[in-house]
């Protein structure tokens, strides 16, 4: 733990953050300059970092607890998609001099809830002062059996494409949170906005996919973009069958009311589900993992050879045979 810049940062650390480190003996109650961690035997460490900036990655009036849970969630989603079991995290928090202590308390409470849900501890951090937007950076660490980390590369033509949970809720939820989703009941809007604000990383399902999935990543940029990343890394192509897309009831009703939202569902981000490829021979095993973890895993297509052009590697086909090809500005519709 870096030392605080001002006396009341001692209170901040002692009151709000030290309790989050209580379960990690190597964090020394955040009273030393560094943390120590003894990795499990035969384990690799998996590391990822993601930052959130006020006005860029979250809205200024988002509740502090949900910002904290999102910060933890986006990082744990990366770990989960790599097959890693979360162990601990280090946090940088840049608060303004006028950030109320109650706001910080709400933020710490969000971290506490996230830790409880996903089984990890705070190992260290740095709280700094900023004259600018609130900014947070979180480094998350997890473990996999040696050599087991799931990669973006490794998928082969003929592998099935799967996605966990439901797709599109994050992007629709952002619209709902901004009041830009008309013709939707209040309950549906709240449910979608909740999915946007508080990701539910698939921390139990991810590690089960080691040895089962041939490639995996989490859906953060949007289904088509992330599938494109996997295809590019693996040298394959991928048609997604839109009729197979797993939608939440709220997303299904939003799409029925406004069919053009299909582009948002395919292209939007913030789903934090796991997108993975697996040989067809693993289908029964995947069904069993889904059953045992309670995490739905839906087949949404099959990988083919790469198209001649990069832009055609990933496409979506709707039940009427219409093709959607993403480009970096959104989607061209044919």
Distance separating alpha carbons of residues 181 and 315, to the nearest angstrom: 26
Minimum CB–partner distance for residue 302 and its own copies (Å): 23
Based on the shown chain and the rule CB under 8 A, indicate whether residue 28 belongs to the binding site for its own copies.
Answer: yes
Per-residue CA distances from 130 to 53, 57, 96, 133 (Å): 12, 17, 5, 7
| ∠ Cα 258 264 268 (to 5°) | 155
Alpha-carbon span 164 to 141, nearest angstrom: 22
Choose the binding region for its own copies from 123-131, 161-169, 206-214, 248-256 (rule: CB under 8 A): 123-131
| Cα distance between residue 302 and residue 170, in whole Å | 24
Shortest spacing between CB 77 and its own copies, in angstroms: 9
Task: Name which of 144 and 286 has its Cβ closer to its own copies.
Answer: 144
Site for its own copies, residues 79 to 108, rule: CB under 8 A: 79, 81-82, 84, 90-92, 94
Q: Is 210 in the site for its own copies (CB under 8 A)?
A: no
What whole-number distance in Å separates Cα of residue 56 and Cα of residue 52? 7
Is 33 or 320 the residue whose CB approaches its own copies more closely?
Answer: 33
Q: Cα(82)–Cα(76) distance, rounded to whole angstroms?
A: 10
How far is Cα 9 from Cα 11, in angstroms, rounded to an integer? 5
Binding mask 35-64 for its own copies (x = CB under 8 A): xxxxx----xxxxxxxxxx-xxx-------
Per CB under 8 A, 132 contacts its own copies: yes
Q: Which residues bind its own copies (CB under 8 A)?
A: 2-3, 5, 7, 26, 28, 31-39, 44-53, 55-57, 78-79, 81-82, 84, 90-92, 94, 123-126, 128-133, 135, 137, 139, 141, 144, 146, 149, 151-153, 217-218, 220-221, 229, 233, 328
């Amino acid at each position: 733990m870096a030392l605080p810049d001002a006396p009341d940062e001692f209170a901040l650390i002692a009151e709000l953050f030290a309790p989050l480190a209580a379960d990690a003996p190597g964090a020394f109650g955040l009273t030393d300059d560094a943390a120590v961690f003894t990795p499990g035997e035969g384990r690799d460490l998996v590391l990822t970092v993601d930052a959130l900036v006020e006005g860029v990655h979250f809205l200024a009036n988002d509740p502090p607890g949900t910002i904290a849970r999102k910060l933890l969630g986006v990082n744990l989603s990366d770990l989960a998609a790599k097959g890693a079991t979360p162990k601990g995290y280090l946090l940088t928090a840049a608060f303004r001099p006028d950030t109320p202590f109650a706001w910080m308390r709400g933020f710490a409470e969000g971290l506490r809830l996230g830790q409880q849900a996903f089984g990890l501890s705070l190992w260290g951090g740095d709280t700094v002062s900023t004259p600018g937007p609130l900014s947070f950076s979180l480094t998350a660490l997890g473990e996999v059996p040696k050599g087991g980390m799931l990669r973006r590369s490794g998928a082969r033509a003929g592998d099935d494409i799967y996605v966990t949970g439901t797709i599109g809720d994050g992007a629709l939820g952002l619209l709902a949170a901004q009041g830009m989703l008309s013709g939707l009941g209040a309950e549906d809007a709240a449910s979608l906005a909740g999915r946007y604000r508080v990701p539910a990383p698939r921390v139990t399902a991810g590690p089960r996919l080691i040895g089962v999935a041939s490639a995996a990543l989490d859906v953060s940029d949007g289904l088509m973009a992330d599938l494109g990343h996997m295809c590019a890394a693996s040298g394959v192509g991928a048609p997604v069958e839109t009729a197979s897309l797993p939608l939440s009831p709220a997303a299904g009703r939003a799409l029925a009311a406004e069919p053009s939202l299909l582009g948002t569902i395919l292209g939007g981000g913030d789903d934090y589900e796991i997108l993975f490829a697996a040989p067809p021979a693993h289908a029964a095993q995947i069904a069993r993992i889904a059953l045992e973890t309670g995490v739905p895993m839906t087949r949404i297509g099959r990988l083919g050879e790469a198209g001649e052009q990069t832009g055609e590697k990933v496409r979506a086909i709707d039940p009427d045979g219409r093709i959607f090809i993403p480009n970096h500005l959104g989607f061209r519709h044919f």
